[in-house]
Amino acid sequence: MPIPLQPTDALLVIDVQNDFCPAVNGIGGALAVKDGDQVVPIINAFAQKFDHFILTQDWHPAGHLSFATTHSRQPYEVIAAPS
């Protein structure tokens, strides 16, 4: 059963970036995820149903632990991060 939306409800979309989409016409693709662009039309459809639509983008400073170049590992290789 659908949950009715209230005027105070918001759609929160976290960290959807061109970098995660396959490169098209030279845009996107630096960290492409297979079919990563498939989520965009779904998000756009959901956004039409909400009065409030919030987008966030994750960001890390140069030299951050999340970059493979800071720990001599391959991209997407799993490492243990300090707590």
pLDDT in tens, 32-53: 888 889 999 999 999 999 999 9
Query: Is the CB of residue 57 less than 8 Å from the CB of residue 18?
Result: no
State the sign of the Cα–Cα–Cα–Cα dihedral 45, 46, 50, 54: negative
Query: Is the CB of residue 30 less than 8 Å from the CB of residue 68?
Result: no
How far apart CA 83 and CA 60 sit, in angstroms, is 17
Residue 82 pLDDT class (50, 70, 90 cuts): confident
In the predicted structure, residue 59 carries a pLDDT above the cut 90: no
Cβ-count burial of 76 within 10 angstroms (0-12 exposed, 13-18 middle, 19+ buried)?
Answer: exposed
For the entire predicted model, the pTM comes to 0.69
